[in-house]
C-alpha cells in the first residue's frame, strides 16, 4: 500500500517512527514533511498537500500528525473528497 504521511513539529518524532514501521511492514511511504524538526513550522503546510494526494488517488491512505491531531484533522477535512478522523487509540 502507498501511504502518505505528514507532520509538523508537534508530531515529527512520531512521524519518523511510523515511517520506519510502515516501511518495515512493506508499505511504500510518501513523506509530505516536515523533513526536519522545525519549531516554527505549521501543520497546514504539510497536511493540505497530503490530503490533496489522498483525494487525487496519488496515495492509498494518509496519516497526518500534529500536537493534538485536531488541527490536522480539521485541515484535511477541508479538502474536497477527504474524510479525516481523529484516532488516538486502538478503538477509535
Q: What predicted TM-score, i.e. pTM, was given to this entire model?
A: 0.92
- pLDDT, residue 38, reads 87
Mean pLDDT, rounded, for 9-13: 93
If you search the block for the grid coordinates 490533496, which residue do you land on? 52
- pLDDT, residue 73, reads 96
Question: To which CATH superfamily is domain 2-77 assigned?
Answer: Sugar-phosphate isomerase, RpiB/LacA/LacB (3.40.1400.10)
Residues that are catalytic: 66
Beta-bridge partners for 3 = 29, 61
Burial of 90 by CB count in 10 Å (0-12 exposed, 13-18 middle, 19+ buried)?
Answer: exposed
Distance CA 41, CA 8 (A): 6
- Residues 37-84: tens digit of each pLDDT: 889 888 999 999 999 999 999 999 999 999 899 999 999 999 999 999
Spell out the domain ranges in the chain: 2-77
- pLDDT, residue 91, reads 85
Inform me whether the pLDDT recorded for 92 exceeds 90: no
Amino acid at each position: 500500500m502507498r501511504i502518505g504521511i505528514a507532520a509538523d513539529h508537534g508530531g515529527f518524532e512520531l512521524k519518523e517512527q511510523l515511517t520506519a514501521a510502515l516501511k518495515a511492514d512493506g508499505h511504500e511511504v510518501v513523506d509530505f514533511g516536515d523533513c526536519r524538526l522545525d519549531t516554527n513550522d505549521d501543520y497546514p503546510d504539510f497536511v493540505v498537500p497530503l490530503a490533496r494526494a489522498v483525494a487525487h488517488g496519488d496515495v492509498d491512505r494518509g496519516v497526518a500528525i500534529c500536537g493534538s491531531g485536531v488541527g490536522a484533522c480539521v485541515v484535511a477535512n477541508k479538502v474536497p473528497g477527504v474524510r479525516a478522523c481523529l484516532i488516538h487509540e486502538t478503538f477509535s
